[in-house]
């Protein structure tokens, strides 16, 4: 299982609006992250596990679109200060964290998925990011924490959600655009229209090779005017499968947790129920006077 670290941290931070340690510092993201990760592990029961973090924006995508993800607000200060403590928790829990400077988490996950698939492993990606739908296959599924009815997404679920196959997600996003990443799509083309076009033409390349076959004059004109944008978009939204030298995925086998350190952390954060689950861990011995 590969966990989209920043996505989980943000979701935890906003799901729990107010929670503080005895000393007053914010702990809502830490508590939410730990519990979300615990539920995901219980559901998937993975043999190998890693939390993958963004290391910055991809330089090639920024060159192609200077405004790429540029509209996103700065990370809230109270979330940022909790990330180091989340990393500390993962280390004590024996869970591997992976981050490379200048590499987006999406691309890191894509490479790790490829390596796992080459070994015949099945992979679950824990995320709500729609970009990962392009990786879904018989060996790869998504665990979407935002879907309470069917959290595990397979190829059928992706098709039901978008109207296209996972292999067509990059084409679909190229036409629709992605407001989250500040990527404009074709004017007047929404998810349903994009799905209909791809059902007929399969890819955006074939669509533009046969643009005269589009029945609507208005739609054909909009597509013609957006041709450069659409083809650029495909290079932006396609995840990079072979450009990063990632660690050996065997290293993602969880280590034994440091129970004493975890108990100490939970007590410092004021997580009484979690600390109580480590009640069998001996405390620090008292020094003689």
More confident residue, 190 or 147: 190
Q: Which DSSP category does 126 fall into?
A: E
Q: What is the mean pLDDT of residues 201-211?
A: 97
Q: Is there a contact between 133 and 166 (Cβ–Cβ < 8 Å)?
A: yes
Nearest to 223 by CA among 185, 196, 191, 172: 185
pLDDT recorded at residue 284: 52
Counting residues of the chain whose pLDDT is more than 90, the rounded percentage is 82
Q: At what angle do helices 227-237 and 169-176 cross, to 10 degrees?
A: 130
| Residue written as token pair 């679950």 | 124
DSSP per-residue codes, 246-279: PPPGGGGSPPPP-HHHHHHHHHHHT-HHHHHTTT
Homologous superfamily of 2-155+239-276: 5'-nuclease (3.40.50.1010)
Tell me which residue has tokens 């998810």.
191
DSSP code for 213: G
- Name the CATH superfamily for 167-237: 5' to 3' exonuclease, C-terminal subdomain (1.10.150.20)
* Digit-coded pLDDT (tens) for 259-277: 999 999 999 999 999 999 9
- Kindly list the domain boundaries of the chain, sorted by start residue: 2-155+239-276, 167-237
C-beta neighbour count of 70 within 10 angstroms: 11
CB contact at 8 A, 141 and 124: yes
The mean of the pLDDT values for the chain is 93
Alpha-carbon distance of 22 to 181, in angstroms, equals 38
Q: Give this prediction's pTM.
A: 0.92
Q: How many residues does the chain have?
A: 289
285 has a pLDDT exceeding 50: no
Fold match between domain 2-155+239-276 and domain 167-237: no
Residue 244 has pLDDT above 90, yes or no: no
Radius of gyration of the chain (CA): 22
């Amino acid at each position: 299982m590969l966990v989209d670290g920043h996505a989980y941290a943000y979701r935890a931070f906003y799901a729990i609006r107010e929670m503080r340690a005895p000393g007053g510092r914010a702990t809502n993201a830490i508590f939410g992250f730990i519990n979300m990760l615990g539920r995901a592990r219980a559901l998937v029961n993975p043999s190998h596990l890693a939390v993958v973090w963004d290391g910055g924006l991809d330089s090639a995508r920024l060159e192609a679109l200077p405004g790429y993800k540029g509209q996103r607000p700065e990370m809230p200060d109270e979330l940022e200060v909790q990330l180091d403590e989340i990393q500390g928790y993962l280390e004590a829990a024996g869970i591997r964290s992976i981050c490379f400077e200048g590499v987006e988490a999406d691309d890191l996950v894509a490479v790790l998925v490829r390596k796992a698939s080459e070994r015949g492993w099945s992979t679950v990606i824990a995320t709500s990011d729609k970009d990962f739908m392009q990786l879904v296959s018989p060996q790869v599924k998504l665990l979407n924490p935002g879907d309470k009815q069917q959290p595990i997404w397979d190829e059928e679920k992706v098709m039901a959600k978008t109207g296209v196959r996972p292999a067509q997600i990059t084409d679909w996003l190229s036409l629709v655009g992605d407001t989250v990443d500040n990527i404009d799509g074709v004017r007047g083309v929404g998810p349903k229209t994009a799905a209909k076009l791809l059902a007929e033409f399969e890819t955006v390349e074939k669509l533009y090779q046969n643009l005269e076959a589009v029945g609507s004059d208005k739609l054909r004109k909009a597509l013609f005017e957006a041709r450069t944008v659409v083809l650029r978009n495909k290079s932006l939204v396609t995840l990079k499968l072979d450009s990063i030298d990632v660690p050996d995925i065997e290293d993602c086998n969880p280590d034994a947790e440091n129970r004493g350190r975890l108990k100490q952390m939970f007590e410092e954060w004021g997580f009484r129920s979690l600390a109580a689950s480590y009640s069998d861990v001996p405390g620090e011995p008292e020094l003689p006077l």
